[in-house]
Amino acid sequence: MNRREAAVAALEGRIGHVFHDRELLERALTHASVGEGALKVRHYERLEFLGDRVLNLLAAERLMALNPDAREGEMSRLMAGLVNYHACARVARRIGLPEALRMAPSATKIGARDKDTVLGDACEALIGALYIDDGLEAARAFFLEFWTDEFARLDEPRTKDPKTQLQEWAQGRGLALPAYKVVGREGPDHAPVFTVSVNVGDYEPEQAEGHSRQEAEKAAATMMLLKREGPK
């Protein structure tokens, strides 16, 4: 048994489900980079599409049970805390999914194996695969066990994201709202790297990189906050 095979076996052990359809599991763990230059490699994007819908159903179902008197707006806020790529990536790391992923060496080299966006997508694909392999109950059992920490996080004080902090910092000084601009994009389609600049008033612009435009904007906002007086 090679290292990846051992990682896949360990993954199944952690989630308590041995797949009947081994090809389905392999597809759920195959990143799109493996198919570059090959037409017949099946990767997890279609399963991710399904898994996202299953995850939303399970999260909504659980929230309805836990919050019988909550209004729709509050439920939507709680859903946003449970169903996002950061939450999915945390779950992926808890179950050892990064080590089990099948990925092109070029993607691994640039750090794609540990990116929240990649791990979040793969986690949703795994949920989709569980649903196909053994029905909604298998997906529900996975969700109830591995989303426990995510439900606990809902009660933690919410920290404002860097873009919100920077906006409030600028408004508090009578400045125009921060302006973000994509100044560069590199890398393959499955793992792009965006460079974004942010301008606030007459201050010197700051630049930062990220694997999505939003990630780069947040990083640029953080850079601006770190170099100027303002909220930490």
Dig out the tokens for 173 from the structure: 């000084």
Give the active site residue among 116, 124, 215, 217.
124
Considering the candidates 52, 116, 150, 206, report the single residue annotated as catalytic: 52
pLDDT in tens, 149-171: 999 988 766 567 889 888 888 88
pLDDT digits (tens, 9 = 90+) for 7-62: 999 999 999 999 999 999 999 999 988 876 555 778 999 999 999 999 999 999 99
- Nearest Cα neighbor of 80 from 153, 167, 163 is 153
Q: Does the annotation mark 134 as catalytic?
A: no
CATH 3.30.160.20 fits 162-227, yes or no: yes
The 3-state DSSP class for residue 71 equals coil
Q: Which of 105-114, 130-139, 143-152 has the lowest mean pLDDT?
A: 105-114
- Is 209 marked active-site? no
pLDDT computed for residue 129 by the predictor: 98
Residue 178 pLDDT > 90 = yes
Determine the 3-state secondary structure of 147 from DSSP: coil
- Report the alpha-carbon distance of residue 211 to residue 213 in Å, rounded: 7
Average pLDDT over residues 74-82: 87
3-153 has CATH 1.10.1520.10 classification: yes
Domains of the chain by residue range: 3-153, 162-227
Does the annotation list 48 as a binding residue? Answer: yes
CA atoms within 13 A on the CB side of 71: 2
Confidence (pLDDT) at 195? 94
